[in-house]
Amino acid sequence: MLSILEYNSFLLSPLIASSVPLVAYPIPGTAAPVSRGPEKFLGHESGMEPMGDTRTKFQIRYYMFAPVPVILDVETVFPHPWATSFNELGIFASIEAFTSVTIPVVGSVYAWRKGALEWSQ
């Protein structure tokens, strides 16, 4: 019969995970230097007044470029498990790995050909 004592580490894990933010939250407030001056109440803490309208609109192209590094980083992680267990998985894993790498490459080539990656003013 299983005892609750066998699960002590499992039950302790959520307790530790929830206590870390509670302990870490007050640290910046006590350790960070506090500056109280007239510059603190300006729009920018550098002390310089903003020139022009501070609410500028971003082009939609920025939102097309922003996820690209994240997608490419994730795609470089996927082939690693296949490579480490290539001998056990066989041809099916090879086809799956090839498909997983081919889809973003084809998407990138398509976006490049359509001019979506051109940054213009």
Here the CATH number for the domain that contains residue 16 is 1.20.58
29-39: per-residue pLDDT in tens? 888 877 777 66
Highest mean pLDDT among 43-57, 70-84, 105-119: 105-119
Does residue 121 register a pLDDT over 60? no
* Burial group, residue 108, by CB count within 10 angstroms (0-12, 13-18, 19+): middle
The number of domains in the chain is 1
Rounded Cα distance, 38 and 92, in Å: 66
Rounded Cα distance, 32 and 34, in Å: 6
**Tokens standing for 105?**
């490459």
Does residue 1 register a pLDDT over 60? no
CB 97 within 8 A of CB 103: no
Highest mean pLDDT among 8-22, 31-45, 61-75: 8-22
Residue 120 counted as domain residue: no
pLDDT band with cut points at 50, 70 and 90 for residue 19: very high
pLDDT band with cut points at 50, 70 and 90 for residue 21: very high
Give me the sign of the Cα torsion angle 96, 101, 107, 113.
negative
Q: Please, what is the average pLDDT of the chain?
A: 76
Q: What is the span of the domain harbouring residue 96?
A: 4-114
- What is the secondary structure of 8-35 as a DSSP string? HHHHHHHHHHHHHHHHHTTHHHHHS---
Residue 67 counted as domain residue: yes
Residue 15 counted as domain residue: yes
Residues near 61 by Cβ (< 8 Å), separated by ≥ 6?
A: 116, 119
The residue-averaged pLDDT of 1-6 equals: 66
Residue 52 counted as domain residue: yes
Residue 43 counted as domain residue: yes
Residue 119 counted as domain residue: no
- pTM greater than the 0.75 cutoff: no
Residue 55 counted as domain residue: yes
